[in-house]
Structure 1
Amino acid sequence: MEAIFVYTTFPDWESAKRITRELLERKLIVCANLREHHSMYFWEGKIEEGTEIGAILKTDVSKWKELKNTLRELHPYEIPMIARIDLDKLNREYSEWMEKVLFG
């Protein structure tokens, strides 16, 4: 088991929960932490501000490519940010739980 976090943002709670549920049902992730953020960013040459929902998605590295492709397919943003964060260490009990959920 080689655990990773995948970080992305969504424009609203509805899309964050809908897509997260789909990822869980497909067993691409074991868990997601969702949190509202105030975001500031450049878009089409100007500074924008707004609320986004940040998502930390927990999974195994073997799910990375399928998860990234599925996020691209389902994501409402034209250019979603999808970042993989490799985890150096994870407690054994949590890692075993993740493996059981993802791989049965």
Structure 2
Amino acid sequence: MGKPTLVYTTFPNLENAKSIVGYLLEKKMIACANLREHEAHYIEDGDIAIKTEVGAFLKTAENKWDVLKDMINEIHPLETPVILKINIDDSNEEFENWICDTIK
């Protein structure tokens, strides 16, 4: 099944994040998601923008990355979403087994 992998993305609001995370859980693309609302500061059209958004850490397996990235890109409401793969060098065996059992 592969090593555990974290995928980080953001959503414009909590409702949208919950909807997409629910879909990814149903499709067994992820085993778990941690959602957190935060303030984002960034450049938009040459100006500094400050908006509230929801960050999501998606717990999955490395071999799901390519399909998961494409799925998020396709259903994400933003034109240019951030979709980052965060490799995990090591983790406890119980967690690895849980990920594998949950999304197989």
TM-score, normalising length from structure 1?
0.96
- How much does 1:93 deviate? 0.7
In the alignment, structure 1 segments of 5+ residues that lack a partner are none
Aligned pairs (5 A) from 1:65-76: 65-76=66-77
Find the residue that maps to 1:93 and give its secondary structure.
Answer: helix
Find the residue that maps to 2:42 and give its secondary structure.
Answer: strand
Map of 2:17 onto structure 1: 16
Aligned partner of 2:93: which letter? R
Map of 1:34 onto structure 2: 35
Map of 1:100 onto structure 2: 101
- How much does 1:30 deviate? 0.2
Runs of 4+ aligned residues of structure 1 deviating over 6 Å after TM superposition are none
Cα-to-partner distance string for 1:28-87 (whole Å, 9 max, x where unaligned): 000000001111001122111010000000000110011000000111111000000000
Aligned pairs (5 A) from 1:51-70: 51-70=52-71
What RMSD, in angstroms, separates the aligned Cα atoms of the two structures? Answer: 0.7
**Counterparts of 2:7 and 2:22, CA distance in 1:** 15
In the alignment, structure 2 segments of 5+ residues that lack a partner are none
Aligned partner of 2:10: which letter? T
**Counterparts of 1:8 and 1:22, CA distance in 2:** 15
Aligned partner of 2:87: which letter? D
TM-score, normalising length from structure 2?
0.96
Residues matched between the structures, number: 103
- How much does 1:94 deviate? 1.0
Map of 2:48 onto structure 1: 47
